[in-house]
Amino acid sequence: MCRGAKPLLGEDIYRLREGAGAKKSPPLTSVADLHAHLKPLRISDPPPPVSSPTHAVSAPPISTPDQQFKWACSVCTYENWPRARKCTMCSSPGPPTSPPRIVDDNSTYNTSKWYQRRRQQQIQQQHVDWSWLNACVGVVQGDPSPVEAFLKSGGDPTRQLSPQEVAILNRPSAFDIGHTLVHLAIRFHREEMLATLVSGIESGCGGGGSGLKRVPSYVAPELATAIRRHTATIFSCGKKHHPHHHHSKFTTFTLPAEIEDLPVHIQEQLFEELLDRDAQQELESDPAVINWSVEVTVQLGSRLYALWNRSQGDCLLDSLMQVTWGIFDRDNLLRRALADTLNNAGHLFYSRWCEYEASQARQLDFSLSEAQWAEDWSALVRRATQPGASLQQLHVFTLAHILRRPIIVYGVKFVKSFRGENLGYAGFEGVYLPLVWEGSFCSRSPVCLGYTRGHFSALVPIEPSTTHDNLQVTFLPLVDSDRKLLPIHFITKAEVIPIFFYSPTNAGSEERLLREWLDVNLTSGGLLVAQQKRPTRPLLVAQMLQEWLNHYRRLA
């Protein structure tokens, strides 16, 4: 700092700096003595007199303006004395010109004016991210345009305000050091901006595709909260033979037909901000899992779209809440219902699970002991109770009973590595029927999900124009692109054997079982499809969709 000579070995480093012949300081016996003897240097203080073995240099008695006002290094911010031509700390070159002298009538320097002008030049020379600062101002003023511009340019919604940026904004009542856009949105009650920022943070965490996401529940967060409160009231627990949770109302979420009234470029933006493009592409790639039949997607108007959702281990539960109510399971409602069901009514599912798993094990030429079966079952029950824990086929089967309706999973058959190599059989694709319930107690209208790379996505159509008994209908294939019937999970021999009297083949028996639980049709092209019927949309969901659509109508 001061270019003084290094103390000789054995010297008292706490001695005062009056000169080379100064006496040693008295011993330190208290904190007060330590503070009295240790006088730390500050960057803004002038250097103290330096003692050397040959001569002593004392501080100049009078400070000139050139010595009073230092220049800050643009690289390391160290404040250097005006006469320094380069930074003492990092050797970066100093200002190109010497400070101008403004002489008044008394021939003295007008240092205050020069200092203010110098500070303004330093601020202008600094690299300022005006996109980021404009986004902060936009949140405070309620203007979403600079916020969206900042996010679309790749800006980080978790970025924090630095002291220099707070000084530039110069509004202490609004901006504090360390604040993010989320802090500002909460502080100034910008609910729509807050939802947009949260989506930017979550979509940046992976799993659901890239870019800014704007799903209906983010655009209308108050209505989404009201829907979550409503769904919590329509779960009930059965008694006696079925002591597990179940849904007491059937709803099916579809995208509104008004989307097609928007200009093409607005539709493209809407789908980019709504869909999981990565999942959509993988499900539609060769061999396609969804939308592979022109007859179903075009002629019957039943194209499926993979909605973006959170990738936090609860994607299965999020997807089921999306295909029914259009929201995420933020309150872990389905997770709690799943855990309670397996804890209280696990015996109703255990025998089915054992028989199903044993048949799968026989195909792979291995078997498990009773202790191993019990251990695996306990692990599955524990997973149901842990938020964020990944779920298995048993959980999908149990959730079909909680919703009291079939679940169709269109999934990739093999899990691939990042190189495209097959790592193993996925096993989620197929139909999950609520077989433990009585058929009359359940809905015959299924919901469908997509499965890719350990991630579930909600698959929903645009509001269909085809009607059946005054209900809008979407047709869901029950076969894959090779015309092979989708597997039915967790069926027992007792449910299949009686059907053999009607059909000599296992495929025929499974088809008859599907017809017992679903409204099944055969298309003119010979495809077996299930009818997904959508009754009148719940009022809260309709209001949420209208607010979401109004955002894109304003853009148009």
Residue 71 has pLDDT above 50, yes or no: yes
The answer on pLDDT for 263 being more than 90 is yes
What's the pLDDT score for residue 59? 37
- Residues with catalytic roles: 315, 455
Fold observed for domain 227-555 = Cathepsin B; Chain A (3.90.70)
- In the block, which residue shows the tokens 């990092």? 90
The residues facing 122 across adjacent strands are none
Count H helices and E strands in the chain, helices first.
21, 17
Mean residue pLDDT across the chain: 79
Is pLDDT of 109 > 50? no
List, in sequence order, the alpha helices (H) in 220-300. Answer: 221-233, 264-274, 277-284, 294
* Architecture category of domain 130-219 in CATH: Alpha Horseshoe (1.25)
Strand extents, DSSP E, 96-218: none
Helices of type H across 26-110: 31-37, 65-68
- pLDDT-derived band at 116 (thresholds 50, 70, 90) equals low
Q: What are the tokens at 310?
A: 């959170």
Give 469 or 273, the one with higher predicted confidence.
273
Residues 138 and 135: their CA atoms lie apart, in Å, by 5
- Phi, psi values for residue 20, rounded to 5°: -70, -30
Q: Would you state the torsion angle of the CA atoms of residues 67, 68, 74, 78, taken in this order, to the nearest 10 degrees?
A: 90
Helix then strand then coil, % of the chain, to nearest 5: 40, 15, 45
pTM of the model: 0.66
Query: In the structure, what pLDDT confidence band is assigned to residue 63 with cuts at 50, 70 and 90?
Result: very low
Sheet strands side by side (includes 304-306): 304-306, 455-461, 447-452, 407-411, 430-432
For residue 142, give the DSSP letter: T
**Residue matched to tokens 């719940």:** 538
The CA distance from 42 to 46, in Å, is 8
Strand-pairing partners, residue 490, are: none
Residue 58, φ and ψ in degrees, nearest 5: -95, 160
The label of the residue with tokens 């088809």 reads 511
* Alpha-carbon separation of residue 32 from 39, 41, 177, 281, 528 (angstroms): 12, 18, 34, 71, 89
Q: Average of pLDDT values for 14-34?
A: 43
Task: Enter the tokens of residue 394.
Answer: 């048993």
**Which of 161-165, 171-175, 177-181, 486-490: highest mean pLDDT?**
486-490
Q: Are 87 and 72 in contact (CB under 8 A)?
A: no
- 186-190, 390-394, 438-442, 502-506: least confident range: 502-506
Return residue ranges of the chain for CATH 3.90.70.80: 227-555
Portions of the chain given CATH number 1.25.40.560: 130-219
User: How would you label 171-195 residue by residue, b for 16+ Cβ within 10 Å and e otherwise?
Assistant: eeebbeeebbbbbbbbeeebebbbb
pLDDT band at residue 53 under the 50/70/90 scheme: very low
Residue 13 has pLDDT above 90, yes or no: no
Kindly give, in sequence order, each residue whose CB lies less than 8 Å from that of residue 130, ignoring residues fewer than 6 positions away. none
Torsion sign across C-alpha atoms 525, 529, 535, 537 = negative
516 in Cβ contact with 188 (< 8 Å):
no
For the stretch 372-393, pLDDT in tens is 889 999 999 999 999 888 899 9
* Amino acid at the residue 437: W
Tokens of 466: 């085809």
DSSP string, 401-427: HHHTS-EEEEE-SEEE-TTS-EEEE--
Are the C-beta atoms of 306 and 283 separated by less than 8 Å?
A: yes
Q: What is the dihedral of CA 135, 136, 139, 143, to 10 degrees?
A: -40
Q: Which helix (H) or strand (E) holds 461?
A: strand 455-461
Nearest to 332 by CA among 359, 308, 355, 313: 313
Query: Do you know the residue count of the chain?
Result: 556
pLDDT at 482: 93
Give the residue among 347, 357, 313 at the shortest CA–CA distance from 490. Answer: 357
Cite the DSSP H helix spans in 311-420.
315-325, 333-345, 347-363, 370-385, 393-403
Which pLDDT does position 106 carry in this prediction? 43
Burial grade of 232 (CB within 10 A; 0-12, 13-18, 19 or more) = exposed
